[in-house]
Amino acid sequence: MELKRVVVTGLGALTPLGNTVNEYWSNLIAGVSGANLITRFDASKFKTRFACELKNFNVENHIERKDARKMAPYTQYAMVVVKEAIEDSGMNLETINKDRVGVIWGSGIGGLFTFQEECFNYAKGDGTPRFNPFFIPKMIADIASGHISINYGFRGPNYTTVSACASSTNALVDAFTYIRLGKVDMVVSGGSEAAITEAGVGGFNALKALSENNDNFATASRPFDQTRDGFVLGEGAGCIILEEYEHAKARGAKIYCELVGGGMSADAYHITAPHPEGIGATNVMRYALEDANMKAEDIDYINVHGTSTPLGDVQEARAIQNVFGEHAYKLNISSTKSMTGHLLGAAGAIEAIATILAIKNDIVPPTINFTTPDPELDANLNFTFNKAQQRTVRAGISNTFGFGGHNTSAIFKKI
């Protein structure tokens, strides 16, 4: 069968760098750090006392209080970015065929705050089981997609992908597949996460995954720097409206770019560590290129997973060299996690947006906080250190890798 073309027609973002797409992109290009001391709870006894929190965000400016109380923060964030993306897409909610609009969302954890809150409340009580009747519906990882569907009346495929930090890229690739097979006309896709809680920070500290550079928190997320010591936790959401090309043209939609390929693979190695030879990362980029019917030389930019962990950054860089060979030295590579921190299941969504806007605007956001070269990394690779770079970006890959060995890549290109 002839596969349909899939394009991007709307964007929404709620990030530690800004509460709209424009704010997010402006601060990405400016190389702003989103890290600061944690305000959400008293973190003074934690090994890590900083994170990339949302700033100047009040959910009641977006959602009525009575409705917001029925949602965990990760769902609230989802509702905010979906509204922005739908408005950006120019979708006419009165005339669109809602039977052919799906919602495929991603979240690695979901309602962690709600789960923690209910457990805290129970522990403070006398042992009598008193739980909020919305406890389960607020907590479950699929409920964000449910709320989106209910709010807008979208009756197409509706579910949430859960593959740790690869979750929202997984959602985008699934959405891409549904559209190109002709099963739907549009999919509201992306991801959201709200894990800056005592349990979230404490749990990642116990894994020794987080940076503990409390004295230099603003520069603690430093991918590919020899002094990196772990990732910085972030929060927020990103939404991308994916649409069948002819459907978008027929309604006169603005088109950002085309989504042309996706790949998925597994490391099949370890629950938290990447494969030492980068097999999964190598395979997933190759699969994405094959799916897009593209050659390595067609890619100009890679928005890497690049979490600022000692093992992960090296293995991803080696995988890029495995896949791209000599062309690897002509690529721009950057980790926007150096600015946003790691949004876990929402990382793929906001990083796909960064890739899309790099293609649209022909400018590559930087990898900030670099000072010390790592001898394990090839110094001839262009990691776009510390300053954004202008260049023609014909096509870009967005990589996301998750605990459990989950790897997903998406390829976007100019149209």
| Positions marked catalytic | 165, 305, 342
Note whether 363 and 384 are within 8 A (CB): no
Note whether 258 and 410 are within 8 A (CB): no
Give me the half-sphere count of Cα atoms (radius 13 Å) on the Cβ side of residue 120. 9
Cα torsion 280, 281, 282, 283 to 10°: value is 50
Determine the length of the chain. 415
What are residue 213's phi and psi, to 5 degrees?
Answer: -85, 65
| CA-based max dimension of the chain | 66
Give the number of other Cβ atoms within 10 Å of residue 92's Cβ.
8
Q: Which helix (H) or strand (E) holds 126?
A: none
Q: What contacts 305, CB < 8 A, 6 or more positions away? A: 165, 281, 312, 316, 335, 337, 347, 399, 400, 401
Q: What is the DSSP string of 168-230?
A: HHHHHHHHHHHHHTTS-SEEEEEEEE---SHHHHHHHHHTT-B---GGGGGG---TTBTT--S
> Chain centroid to CA 229: how far?
21
Tokens of 180: 């190109």
What whole-number distance in Å separates Cα of residue 35 and Cα of residue 72? Answer: 23
Q: Which helix (H) or strand (E) holds 149?
A: helix 143-152
Tokens of 306: 């690049």
Strands (E) across 197-322 are located at: 236-244, 257-266, 301-303
What whole-number distance in Å separates Cα of residue 43 and Cα of residue 23? Answer: 28
